[in-house]
């Protein structure tokens, strides 16, 4: 993946933090998911007073794509910060996908799927799904 595309995903993820609904945690997360067809699907975290009903930014992006018939993916960028910092595009730490999001990635992605965690368009790290979920189970593609 080109640096330009990585930065585009990060920028879109940062923009999505502003759409986040996080009245309970105050932590705003944005994600930008690159499908194999080149389309980018975005998502934000959407909290609920019943915490189990909360949806993470990563899953929001995946579910939007899958609901439109897309099931092949290349990469996702994820950013997160408290509300005031996110409003100013100030991300001081990396926001890693939770275990549930990693399992959703396992369902739809190959082991070399890229996860970009970012503080800015210049400060980011890239991991593969295999690296962040080394002993994952299930999923449609068991060969990748």
6, 47, 58, 74: the catalytic one is: 58
Sign of the C-alpha dihedral, residues 101, 7, 94, 49?
A: negative
CB 16 within 8 A of CB 57: yes
Q: Tell me, yes or no, if 58 is annotated catalytic.
A: yes
Going from the C-alpha of 13 to that of each of 6, 50, 126, the distances in angstroms are 11, 25, 15
Q: Catalytic residues, which ones?
A: 58
């Amino acid at each position: 993946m080109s640096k330009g595309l990585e930065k585009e995903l990060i920028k879109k993820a940062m923009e999505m933090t502003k759409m986040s609904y996080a009245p309970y945690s105050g932590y705003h997360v944005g994600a930008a998911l690159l499908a194999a067809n080149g389309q980018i699907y975005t998502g934000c975290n959407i909290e609920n007073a019943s915490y189990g009903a909360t949806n993470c930014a990563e899953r929001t992006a995946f579910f939007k794509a899958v609901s439109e018939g897309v099931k092949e993916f290349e990469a996702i960028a994820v950013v997160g910060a408290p509300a005031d910092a996110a409003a100013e595009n100030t991300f001081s730490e990396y926001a890693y996908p939770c275990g549930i999001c990693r399992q959703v990635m396992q369902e739809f992605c190959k082991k070399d799927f890229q996860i970009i965690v970012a503080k800015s368009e210049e400060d980011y790290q890239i991991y593969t799904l295999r690296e962040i979920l080394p002993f994952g189970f299930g999923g449609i593609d068991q060969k990748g």
